[in-house]
Structures are given as C-alpha cells and as structure tokens.
Structure 1
C-alpha cells in the first residue's frame, strides 16, 4: 500500500520543476496506453502519479532502489529513473494540464506506490496489451 511520508518539498506554486530521482523516490515511466491500463488495475492502491502529456507517459513514484532488480526485458518501453537522473515534478496544485501535472495527486496515504504490486500490475497490463 502507498506510504504517508513526504520527505521532500513540492513546488509551492503551480510551476513544474526538475527534481533529482534516487534520493526520495525513483520514478517508473510508463507509456500512456499501458499506464492507463495499469492505473485502472491499481485502483486505490496507487500512489501519486505524474502525467507528462508531452512525453505521452505516466510516472509512478517508488522507494529509491526498489525497482532496480526488475527484469526490464519483460516491460518494453517502461523506464526507471533513479540516481543521476531528474524528472519534472508539478506543483502541489497542478492537477490539470496543459503540461506536466498530477494525474493522481499527492494526498495523505497516497505518495509512493508499493513496487512489487506495481510490477505485477505492469506485467499483467503488458501481457494484455500484446
């Protein structure tokens, strides 16, 4: 289940900032169609999700290093963003486009997604999409 902790500070305004992955969270970037299916399967078990319309992808936040051992050959076009990478993070109130925004906003109990559950859902969604 998602955790409550938020050890980092979101941009306070409606802007978008680049923040480093690998410190507070890693990001799992998923192509939009696959991500939409995964989001439906996760339901209330999802943590916060960033929507990047320009990149046509969704991004889940997971504990740093939690997905390092995933077999990415079974998850085509899914990308892990960890240490030494940056991702666009929307301001706390940026819940609509245009541009990068929270598809599933941060909320108490909705921060990180449980990585093992996310992996299982992404594998299932990938099999269905083939």
Structure 2
C-alpha cells in the first residue's frame, strides 16, 4: 500500500520510502541487466531516465551494501508513475506492480547486480 501522494501534471506521485517499501536506485544499464537475470523473481521496477528503482522490503536500505547502487529508505521520496504508464518519456514502469509482485527479494537483487556488473580484466 502506498501512502504519501503528491500528484504531478504527468499523473506521477511522490511516495516516501521506508513505509511500505524501501527502494534501490541502480544505473539503467546495470539495472536492466539485473532485471534480465532476475526474470520472474523480479518485483515492480520504475525507470526514470538514467536509473531504475527496485522496491524491496522496508528496512533493507539500512543494511544494503552494494557500491553500484543506492538504497533509499525513510525520508527519501520516489516518483511513482500511474499504473497505465509503461513508456517514457519520464518515469514509467518497466515491470508493473501486481498482486504479490511489488517487492524484489533483496538477496536475489544483490546477487543479480553482482552477476550483471562488468568484470575488470586481469591484465
């Protein structure tokens, strides 16, 4: 359930993280690769220009330890597009939330981000 609603002209609303979910903000290319790795295990995902937002259980942000992403918890707002908005420009759903499909398991997300991260050559 989403709580704080501040509507925009595009129909988007701002919702505070840390209430119903925390969010993990990931650079777009890395986030798309992780989304592919997660497959059906992926929860809802919002794309906003150069980043993707994954939603994880409340409290995850305080324990998140991935340097390629940023955890967003209490006191931070996330732009949520209307359910019908599945294309840009502007914030839109890459994966729309559904019954039981709002959050992604944080351990699975961390593993997918690790697998998706480009490896440095050992030269």
Instruction: Specify the TM-score bucket, using the shorter chain as the normaliser.
Output: 0.7 to 0.9
Aligned alpha-carbon RMSD (Å): 2.0
Between 1 and 2, higher relative CO (CA 8 Å, sep ≥ 6) is seen in 1
**Partner in structure 2 of residue 110 of structure 1:** 101
Matched, 1:98 2:89: yes
**Contact 1:62–1:113 at 8 Å: present in 2 too?**
yes
C-alpha distance in structure 2 between counterparts of 1:86 and 1:129, whole Å: 32
Aligned 1:1-130 pairs, distance under 5 A:
7-8=1-2, 15-53=11-49, 56-72=50-66, 75-76=67-68, 78-126=69-117, 128=118, 130=120
C-alpha distance in structure 2 between counterparts of 1:36 and 1:28, whole Å: 13
- For normalisation by structure 1, the TM-score amounts to 0.81
Across the two proteins, how many residue pairs are aligned to each other? 117
C-alpha distance in structure 2 between counterparts of 1:60 and 1:81, whole Å: 10
Cα distance, 1:120 vs. partner?
1.0
Question: Which 5+ residue runs of structure 2 have no aligned equivalent?
Answer: none
C-alpha distance in structure 2 between counterparts of 1:52 and 1:81, whole Å: 15
